[in-house]
């Protein structure tokens, strides 16, 4: 690849290390869909940033040949907030699991959502802790037998859609790793949404939670029920919340979308206003001199 001739960005260029995921893991399909969307959107390769915490799914950045960062467990969104706020030129993507996002990282998700940080977050939800080998996760179904719930999970799981909607996320969707086209559509819409966009993607952990999403996988005899946006007004938060109540496996598609100012824009406005008041970008030395004059 030459630096000067802008070539078409292809899956080949975007592919990095071969994923270390187990054969059959749902995460492969998420990766493939992401590549396809990027091929479509043709962002400059160097402007793409993938960020993740810790987990099987969070190994994502290694498998994408773009700038990437593999952070600590649960804090990827907080780190990505810094990247997004300070670098409006970048396309910021965060990938991670249900444990990373809803357990240890649950609070950052809330605050990213209400602040409407401009980035796209894909939760690869397998209803289990994969990397640490089968402990109950916040989305594990009641009765699920894991190493930490040998007699079956007893804690009511998080409802990701409800959580995201009420936290104030401005784009909230749900998809399934067995449905590549659907994933692509969701990711694309999420990426094009200005603000904090989230796609919860059911992604089967074949090793520790095999068959968990068969109910919504037509190839496994399940039903993949998508949201009919003729019927569902995606800007209606109450309708979205009501739909989130549906029993598992529930519906797939965009639950909620509402444009509102991003923190990125609001902070930039403050910067612009401050500098305008000073008559444009000021020399730091002058700013410092002025402030020190007052301290005399």
Ligand X SMILES: Cc1ncc(C[n+]2csc(CCOP(=O)(O)OP(=O)(O)O)c2C)c(N)n1
Site for Mg ion in 108-137 (CB under 5 A): 126, 130
Contact call for residues 177 and 183 (beta carbons, < 8 A): yes
CB of 112 to its own copies, least distance (A): 11
Phi-psi category of residue 277: left, alpha or beta, with phi > 0 → left and psi -120 to 50 → alpha: alpha
The DSSP letter of residue 122 is: E
**Residue 53 engages its own copies in binding (rule: CB under 8 A):** no
Instruction: Report how many residues bind ligand SF4 under the rule CB under 6 A.
Output: 11
Per CB under 8 A, contacts with its own copies among 201-260 are 237-238, 241-242, 245, 260
Residue 41: exposed, middle, or buried by beta-carbon count in 10 A (0-12, 13-18, 19+)? middle
Among 210, 270, 288, 290, binds its own copies (CB under 8 A): 270
Contact string 97-126 vs ligand SF4 (x = CB under 6 A):
-----------------------------x
Contact call for residues 267 and 273 (beta carbons, < 8 A): no
List all residues 6 or more positions away from 61 whose beta carbon is below 8 Å from its beta carbon: 50, 51, 52, 68, 69, 70, 95
**Residue 65 engages other proteins in binding (rule: CB under 8 A):** yes
Contact string 181-210 vs ligand SF4 (x = CB under 6 A):
------------------------xxxx--
CB of 222 to other proteins, least distance (A): 25
Closer of 212 and 257 to ligand X (Cβ): 212
Which residue from 165, 134, 155 is spatially nearest to 242, judged by alpha carbons? 165
Q: What are phi and psi of 226, to 5 degrees?
A: -95, 160
Residues paired with residue 83 on neighbouring β-strands, in sequence order: none
Among 32, 43, 70, 180, binds other proteins (CB under 8 A): 70
C-alpha radius of gyration, the chain, whole number = 21
**Residue 107 engages other proteins in binding (rule: CB under 8 A):** yes
Q: Which helix (H) or strand (E) holds 198?
A: strand 196-202
**Residue 27 engages ligand SF4 in binding (rule: CB under 6 A):** yes
- Residue identified by tokens 């519906």 is 251
Contact string 206-225 vs ligand X (x = CB under 6 A):
--------------------
List all residues 6 or more positions away from 233 whose beta carbon is below 8 Å from its beta carbon: 239
For residue 209, the SS3 value is: coil
Closer of 266 and 287 to its own copies (Cβ): 266
Dist. CA 158–CA 67, nearest whole Å: 32
Which of other proteins, Mg ion, its own copies, none lies near 7, with the C-beta cut-off 5 to 8 A by kind?
Answer: none
Among 37, 79, 185, 198, binds other proteins (CB under 8 A): 79
- Residue identified by tokens 């068969």 is 214
Closer of 29 and 161 to ligand SF4 (Cβ): 29
**Residue 73 engages ligand X in binding (rule: CB under 6 A):** yes
- Residues near ligand X, by CB under 6 A: 54-57, 73, 97-100, 124, 126, 128-132, 137
- Residues near ligand SF4, by CB under 6 A: 21-22, 25, 27, 56, 126, 130, 205-208
């Amino acid at each position: 690849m030459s630096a000067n001739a802008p070539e078409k960005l292809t899956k080949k260029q975007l592919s990095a290390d071969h994923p270390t995921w187990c054969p059959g893991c749902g995460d492969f399909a998420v990766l493939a869909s992401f590549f396809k969307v990027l091929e479509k959107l043709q962002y400059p390769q160097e402007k793409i940033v993938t960020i993740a915490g810790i987990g099987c799914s969070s190994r994502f950045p290694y498998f994408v040949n773009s700038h990437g960062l593999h952070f600590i467990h649960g804090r990827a969104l907080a780190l990505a907030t810094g990247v997004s706020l300070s670098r409006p030129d970048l396309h910021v993507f965060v990938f991670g699991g249900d444990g990373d996002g809803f357990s240890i990282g649950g609070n950052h998700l809330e605050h990213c959502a209400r602040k409407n940080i401009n980035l796209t977050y894909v939760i690869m939800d397998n209803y289990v802790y994969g990397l640490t080998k089968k402990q109950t996760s916040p989305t594990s179904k009641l009765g699920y037998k894991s190493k930490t719930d040998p007699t079956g999970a007893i804690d009511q799981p998080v409802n990701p859609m409800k959580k995201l909607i009420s936290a104030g996320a401005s784009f909230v969707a749900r998809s399934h790793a067995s449905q590549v086209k659907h994933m692509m559509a969701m990711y694309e819409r999420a990426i094009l949404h200005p603000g904090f966009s989230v796609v919860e993607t059911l992604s089967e952990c074949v090793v520790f939670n095999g068959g968990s999403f068969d109910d919504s996988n037509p190839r496994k005899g399940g039903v993949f029920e998508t949201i009919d946006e003729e019927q569902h007004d995606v800007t209606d938060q109450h309708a979205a919340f009501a739909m989130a109540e549906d029993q598992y496996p529930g519906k797939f598609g965009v639950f909620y979308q509402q444009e509102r100012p991003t923190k990125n824009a609001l902070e930039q406005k403050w910067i612009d206003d401050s500098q305008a008041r000073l008559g444009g970008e000021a020399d730091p030395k002058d700013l410092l001199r002025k402030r020190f004059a007052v301290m005399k």
